[in-house]
Amino acid sequence: MNNKILIKNASELVTCSGFKPKHGSEMSDLHVINDGALIIEDGVIKAVGTTEDILRMYKEADYDVIDAEGKAVLPGFVDSHTHFIFGGYRAEEFSWRLRGDKYMDIMKRGGGIASSVKSTREASRQQLLDAGVKRLDSMLSFGVTTVEGKSGYGLDFETEIKQLEVMKELDEIHPVDVVRTFLGAHAVPVEYMGRADDYVDFMIESVLPYVADNKLAEFCDVFCEDNVFSVEQSRKLLSKAKEMGFALKIHADEIVQLGGAELAAELGAVSADHLLQASEGGIEAMAKGSIISTLLPCTAFSLRESFANGRKMIDSGCAVALATDFNPGSCFTESTALVFALACIQMNLTIEEAITALTINGAAAVNRADEIGSIDIGKKADIIMLEFPSYKFIPYHVGVSTVEKVIKNGKLVFDKEKGGLLC
């Protein structure tokens, strides 16, 4: 394979065309070209059209040709909310939850996030890097070409920086692009127990400036939740982060309706995430403020909570993104296939809306709608080809990846027919 690829005869070329987030009813239009084709040169999409049009303008002999007859072709998926760098696992905690223990109760008695903090502090850089490569490989097999990853399992200077540096290295060595988010305010560490305000000050004075100066993260996030960080503490941290040049995200209204969605709108955050308990006012504020509402159905499923009201959000004009929330506690899955199935079957999103949510709106949730998330001329050639003729197979093949090939930056990096990963 060289740098020039021609994909032809795609039964559906699902372009998701657009350069900004899609709101409300705009999410339904996938801009599908039947019998579609595209040209990739130097990692970038150069031409898009019907096979007839493309073959009239470009000579097949000049390209490596992929015949997508009977296959649907889409933009690579953007998983815009994960916590994929961590040490250790929490299978035991999962079994307690199955017996009826609540997520926040386990956290209050020192388990949950705190347990991953202990194992992540203990893990070497190399261990985190090795685990990271395996997890990115798996995400790639589900069609993910860009992933957002958060720190937040260090809660001290060294380990927060270690997590971010590991993600920076992964971005350089692995085909999947990694967008980094600083989530130092993921929980109050034992050293600061009962002193959340002091911990927020420590983050603002000692950690955030280092992260900013060394360009270790683009986004700053906070777990705004009862018994974690209050709305006031979250506002203080995020306002300072904004002054330092970070774009903002918020873990908002996940367990309790605190007003996280409203805070996201007030601060002009890029996204508010989770939103299981978002209020009507919060939904309106997100729609009006063009805040991406990022929904994480696998987390609600794993925690046995009711799903976020994605239907109402879209009907109210919000731009909804979907993501896995891959993490060792509340949601240990990188399966975009399961995200699609739950979004369509349980949350009543249409298949078209769900695809928009994991492509162009996912790209918008990481501030990259102008460069990824759709098959448009000039965008990065991050493309997936399904084993099936229609995008409608994605949620229909419940929980199973329908992805046959993945092209990242114009290079074929995954091909099920050739045994999977090629990188």
CA distance 84 to 11: 34
Using the rule CB under 6 A, give the single segment among 127-135, 165-173, 327-335, 367-375 that binds ligand NIG: 327-335
**83 belongs to the binding site for ligand NIG (CB under 6 A):** yes
Using the rule CB under 6 A, give the single segment among 53-61, 127-135, 328-336, 337-345 that binds ligand NIG: 328-336
Q: What phi, psi does 334 have (nearest 5°)?
A: -105, 15
Residue entry with tokens 């002054």: 243
Smallest distance, ligand NIG to C-beta of residue 345, A? 21
Range 101-130, binding ligand NIG (CB under 6 A): 112-113, 116
Using the rule CB under 6 A, give the single segment among 9-17, 314-322, 324-332, 381-389 that binds ligand NIG: 324-332
Output Rg (C-alpha) for the chain, integer angstroms.
Answer: 21
Buried b / exposed e along 208-227 (16+ C-beta atoms within 10 A): beebbeeebbbbbbbbbbee
**For 298, how many CA atoms within 13 A lie in the half-sphere containing its CB?**
25
Helices (H), 30-175: 51-57, 91-98, 103-108, 113-122, 125-141, 157-173
Q: Which residues are within 8 A (CB) of 274 and not within 5 positions of it... i.e. 6 or more apart? A: 251, 252, 253, 254, 294, 295, 296, 299, 308, 325
What is the token pair recorded at 187? 């929980």
CA distance 396 to 391: 9
Contact map string, positions 253 to 292, toward ligand NIG, x by CB under 6 A: -x--------------------------------------
CA distance 56 to 327: 48
Measured from the CB atom, is 225 or 325 closer to Fe ion?
A: 325
Contact map string, positions 318 to 347, toward Fe ion, x by CB under 5 A: -------x----------------------
**97 belongs to the binding site for ligand NIG (CB under 6 A):** no
Smallest distance, ligand NIG to C-beta of residue 90, A? 7
**334 belongs to the binding site for ligand NIG (CB under 6 A):** no
Smallest distance, ligand NIG to C-beta of residue 186, A? 6
Measured from the CB atom, is 187 or 413 closer to ligand NIG?
A: 187
Smallest distance, ligand NIG to C-beta of residue 146, A? 18
Buried b / exposed e along 294-323 (16+ C-beta atoms within 10 A): bbbbbbbbbbebebbbbeebbebbbbbbbb
CA distance 103 to 211: 30
**Residue 116 site contact among Fe ion, ligand NIG, none (CB < 5 to 8 Å, cut-off depends on kind):** ligand NIG
| Residue number, nearest CB to ligand NIG | 329
CA distance 41 to 60: 13
Measured from the CB atom, is 325 or 415 closer to Fe ion?
A: 325
**325 belongs to the binding site for ligand NIG (CB under 6 A):** yes
Contact map string, positions 155 to 194, toward ligand NIG, x by CB under 6 A: ----------------------------------------
CA distances from 389 to 99, 149, 323, 350, 354 (A): 42, 32, 24, 18, 18
Interface residue list for ligand NIG (CB under 6 A): 83, 112-113, 116, 223, 251, 254, 299, 325, 327-331
Q: Which residues bind Fe ion (CB under 5 A)?
A: 325
